[in-house]
Structure 1
Amino acid sequence: MNPTWKQSVIYQIYPKSFCSAHGQATGDLAGVTARLDYLQWLGVDWIWLTPIYLSPQRDNGYDVADYLAIDPRYGDMADFTRLVAEAGRRGIQVMLDIVVNHTSTEHEWFQTARRERDHPWRDFYLWRDAPNNWQSKFGGPAWEYDPVAGQYYLHLFDTSQADLNWANPELRQAVFAMMRYWLERGVRGFRLDVINLISKPADFPEDDSDGRRFYTDGPQVHEHLQQMHREVFAGREVLTVGEMSSTTLEHCIHYSRPDRRELSMTFNFHHLKVDYPEGRKWVAAPYDFIALKRILSTWQEGMHAGGGWNAVFWCNHDQPRVVSRFGDSGAWRVPSAKLLATALHGLQGTPYVYQGEEIGMANPGFADIAQYRDVETLNAHRLLLAAGLPEDEVMAAIRQKSRDNARTPMQWDAGPNAGFSSEAPWIDLAPDWREVNVAAQRDDPDSVLHHYRRLIALRKRHPVLADGDYHCLTPDHPALWVYLRRTPAATLVVACNFSGETVAETLPPLGELAATGPARTLIANHPDTPPLAAALQLRPWEAVMWLVD
């Protein structure tokens, strides 16, 4: 019997941009609680909250200053306790984001460590008298000199995010105690931020690149996660998902295979780099559709064969909106948003829906750098201009790739500030909020929102969506992605046309399948869906799921 989370759908909430119950510029926990009825109606089983801890917000909460305190911007512990209780009453479990590759430099551990060389917390961080040549993922050197400490500290991300020293057993115990603290307060899941970066080689070798090959899936990472499982998860029903940066399929099988006793599932991002020409993020470029299918198919087949489990997703707080990225945010926004949902929710793995994805929110297209708030984006703008790139070229890349594309406020209705707050939000609204919002789509049974609701319900009704193997029928087709999901009892066909043109293709396996028994249309994004047959003809951005059982 599969764990229940294999039939579940998880909804990611970025609290800063979700809903403000108190009329402030940023969202809050009370705003999340106020929207739980909506999430129950949508049918999701879990909500994942991105960091709500006390933080200076240099990286929107991923720079934690106190793991045991709620940031006052979001409320207090009473607000959190009420949220957990109210979610539970609606059959929704709560997952917290755990950020333990690094802390804010304002954390008490770091502030003490920089002042007192002999304090035990000094060894909670990674210090050197001279830096090596590794580079930060946010741009620039990965080492920062601290004049109080008299040494350099490692920061793989922003200079305000000092990396923790997981080789120190006392640090590990402090992290495990913090996680147990939240479990005791009703949390039932953890999303572990860049967790495969926590183990660094002791000698910090020089590199001919940026250093990531030495610390990605580092030397003791599996040992650390197995210890975490023993000391935090064992004996409890806890759902865990690891965010894996630049990882490999082999490692993710190990992270998520049940007998390894590490994590429940993993995120990987290889499919979200198909619009990075030669691996460069900050370049405006089209995406490679065949590469997208190839990467997703490789992970579908490999994780299934190896006994691992995928977290499947298009969007999160760090990624552009998928309808702008792989769909059509113009005339074909509605069918392409539904197609993207169908293609993803047909895959094996636990689907994640990022707030606003279910209504087809698009990139805002901000033209002025002053409209952006993200530290990575602002660093990229500064560094790319300093390297001599033209402003228009830099801004074109930022409009396409910035993390702020996902961080504009949730569009609830056509009222002031899209129903997000009575006060102007911390970042501008996307310009389409009057037309693209929850209220309008909830009243429209043919909307993107209702399509997501139907997909979420299908996963609970049809075991093939969780258990079936995966086989792609169109790996090299320039517009079609057609794949099968199969168990001994049923076969699911998912057919998607990723183009604005009608496409016809003859696929003999579909004809053979249709001959074995009647095929039911489970869901489609166009009316008058044709029956399953070898001669497949799909209209622009058409997507269909057929079931043969």
Structure 2
Amino acid sequence: MNRKWWKEAVVYQVYPRSFMDSDGNGLGDINGITSKLDYLKGLGIDVIWVCPMYKSPNDDNGYDISDYQEILEDFGTMEDFDLLMEQVHARDMKLIIDLVINHTSDEHPWFLESSSSRDHPKRDWYVWRDEPLNWESIFGGPAWEYDEKTKQYFLHIFSKKQPDLNWENPEVRKELYKMINWWIARGIDGFRVDAISHIKKDYTNTADAEGHVFVPSWEKIMNVDGIQPMLQELYDETFGKHDIMTVGEANGVSADEIDEWVSEKTGKFNMIFQFEDIDLWNIEVRNGVNVPELKHVLSKWQNKVNGVGWNALFIENHDRPRVVSTWGNDQQYWRESATALACMYFFMQGTPFIYQGQEIGMTNAPFEELDHFDDVHTHNLYFHKKETGMQHEAIMTLLRATSRDHSRTPMQWDNTLHAGFSDASPWMGINPNYQWLNVKAQENDPHSVLAFYKQMIWLRKNMDVFVYGEYKLIEMGHEAVFAYTREYGDDKVFIVTNLAQHACMCGVNPENSTLLLGNYSNNDSAQLLPYEARVYKVPKDANFE
């Protein structure tokens, strides 16, 4: 297996608006990120991924870009970004940025020109039709918006302020490649490529929206046949010329298709974020997680990718509620479930991603009213459900469980006013539990969630088996217990986690083993306590069958 720096890295995702405010206006910014680099270095982070900081009207919090080569004023200047990059590199870390090339903002100059008239040279840079197809947008409602000026509909598979670029047009692709290479030349170390599995659409055999009835259209807009030549050209013209890190957001890609996406011979990306476990996230009101299905999906990806390519490991990001509140128990077993879920995913084969606040166990926020939510998707969902006849309180229950805003509340640095995030009232309400759940409260506590993350990162950096070792699922006779081994050279380790709020007796004291990490003190029995996690170094011949 080829050794690569991005395989050995630990990545930290920063959502700039909510990470740290440096100028006291209630909004996180680039200089705020720079001010916290020593914290990230101390955590053990190798790569920082910054969500969109480009110029944008912020309909979808920066994923609607109006200028790819300018910084949004709220976040600072290009000089601030250059300083961030310089300071990241000075600490021997790397910086990757979001690359959003499925769509732009409707305020991007390209779209303003495209929508100015039917015969403008850039008209074909976006997708226009006389009649809409019966596609529903990912954010709810129709995926087509009528333009009164030119009397046609344009496609937007996300918000109506995010028109899709026409990737069939070679001029569009050429201009995007030029922009990507501009950023690479500037010195960034890679990209997380947003919504990349959506760039190819299938317009065949699709009905017009008679009566304006819109239906889900996943098979028409996601991982459509013919996408690979586009991705190959993207790779050849940009990524393939440099030693950078690329991770694609690849909704709709199955484990059986990883060869052409991430294989070291023919792949177009170093790794992808897969969403085959999406149903595990979308249960509307949950009580824990379906552990057998989680074991099945994650193990399938481990086995399919092993020896072929590389996995991206994650349990949180900016598009999901907080994992300790959805898959765990954020009340009685807050610390235990936060650390058990961390241990479960972090030691698999792949590059682990940590989303800001995950390392201290941040939880869902107690949003009560609709105006407490900021996210365009959340608001669209509310009105879409309302139109279907769903009652207000039922919709609010759904939003409180599933909204992306839970991951976007400001980072909780300390217990001072505004959680140390800002001197001003923040752009979004802070979770009131910041008074006890914050970085400062955990920094010097050896039993904290933060300390557990630091220990995991230390182990991964100091034992190759946690990076390159082969994965094998171990069934322990309890459906709530997720256990596996990693084996590399002369080393073998055993990771076992109980993802339930009840104890499990399953004999987890392997002979001649060494406990490397655990989230309970002084429990060396064969019984796993609620949300208990243990990591052992075991003999090569240890057998768990």
Query: When the two structures are superposed, what TM-score results if normalisation uses the length of structure 1?
Result: 0.94
Moved over 6 A (4+): none
Structure 2 counterpart of 1:256: 262
Shift of 1:51: 0.4
The residue type paired with residue 159 of structure 1 is K
Question: Does the aligned pair in 1 maintain the 2:49–2:98 contact within 8 Å?
Answer: yes
Contact kept? 1:253, 1:309, Cα under 8 Å: no
Deviates more, 1:385-394 or 1:348-357: 385-394
**Cα distance in 1 between the residues matched to 2:332 and 2:243:** 45
- Counterpart of 1:522 (choices 507, 511, 516) is 516
Residue 301 of structure 2 corresponds to residue 299 of structure 1: yes
Distance 2:205 2:367 in 1: 40
Deviation at 1:529, TM superposition (A): 4.2
Contact 1:526 1:542 in 2 (8 A): yes
Match status 1:52 vs 2:53: yes
Once the two structures are TM-superposed, the CA of residue 475 in structure 1 deviates from its matched residue by 7.9
SS of 2:141's equivalent in the other structure is coil
Q: Deviations over 1:462-496 (max 9, x none)?
A: 11112222222228733211111122422211111
What does residue 537 of structure 1 align with? 527
Residue 191 of structure 1 is matched in structure 2 by 192
Whichever residue aligns with residue 46 of structure 1, its letter is: V
1:235-250 equivalences under 5 Å are 235-250=241-256
SS at match of 1:6: coil
TM alignment of 1:38-49, pairs within 5 A = 38-49=39-50
The corresponding residue for 2:385 is 384
TM-superposed CA distance for 1:117, in Å, is: 2.7
- Opposite residue 496 of structure 1, the aligned amino acid is T
Aligned with 1:44: secondary structure? Answer: coil
Q: Gapped runs of 5+ residues in structure 1?
A: 278-282
Q: Secondary structure of the equivalent of 2:200?
A: coil
Task: Give the letter for the 2:467 counterpart.
Answer: A
What residue number does 2:216 align with?
Answer: 210
How far did 1:99 drift?
A: 0.5
One-letter identity of the residue aligned with 1:520? T
Distance 1:477 1:48 in 2: 37
* SS of residue matched to 1:241: strand
1:354 aligns with 2:355: yes
What's the CA shift for 1:31?
Answer: 0.2
Q: Is the 8 Å Cα contact of residues 135 and 142 (structure 1) preserved in structure 2?
A: yes
Tell me the CA shift for residue 250 of structure 1: 2.3
Distance 2:343 2:458 in 1: 12
Query: 1:290 touches 1:477 (CA, 8 Å); kept in 2?
Result: no
Offset of residue 265 of structure 1: 0.3
Residues 15 and 204 of structure 1, relative CA distance in 2, 3 Å threshold? farther
Name the CA distance, whole Å, in 2 between partners of 1:410 and 1:321.
13
CA RMSD of aligned residues (A): 1.7
- Counterpart Cα distance in 2 of 1:484 and 1:214: 40
Q: Secondary structure at the match of 1:73?
A: helix
Matches within 5 A, 1:281-320: 283-286=284-287, 287-304=289-306, 307-320=308-321
Partner of 2:501 in structure 1? 500
- Are the equivalent residues in 2 in contact too, given 1:290–1:476 (CA < 8 A)? no
Residue range with higher mean Cα deviation, 410-419 or 232-241: 232-241
Please give the alpha-carbon distance, in whole angstroms, between the structure 1 residues aligned to 2:133 and 2:114.
Answer: 21
* Equivalent in the alignment of 1:221: 227
2:543 is aligned to none
Hey, what does 2:468 align to over in structure 1? 467
C-alpha displacement of 1:202: 4.7
C-alpha distance in 1 between matches for 2:315 and 2:537 = 24
The 5-angstrom pairing of residues 400-549 of structure 1 reads 400-474=401-475, 477-506=478-507, 514=511, 518-530=512-524, 536-548=526-538
In the alignment, the residues of structure 1 paired with residue 344 and residue 290 of structure 2 have an alpha-carbon distance, to the nearest angstrom, of 16
Residue identity matched to 2:375: D
Aligned partner letter, 1:193: D
SS in 2 for 1:545: strand
CA contact (8 A) 2:477 2:506 kept: no
Other-structure match for 1:280: none
- Quick check: 226-235 or 82-91, which moved more? 226-235
Residue type of the partner of 1:260?
T
Shift of 1:506: 4.4
Structure 1 counterpart of 2:519, one-letter code: N
Q: Structure 1 CA distance, aligned partners of 2:254 and 2:494?
A: 28
Please report the TM-score for the alignment, with normalisation by the length of structure 2. Answer: 0.94
Correspondence for 1:271: 277
Q: Distance in 2 between matches of 1:178 and 1:476?
A: 53
Contact 1:496 1:542 survives alignment (8 Å): yes
1:270 to partner: Cα distance: 2.4
How many angstroms apart in 2 are the aligned matches of 1:11 and 1:141?
35
Q: Is the Cα contact below 8 Å between 2:291 and 2:482 reproduced in 1?
A: no
- Give the 3 Å change call, closer, same or farther, for CA 288–503 of structure 1 in structure 2: same
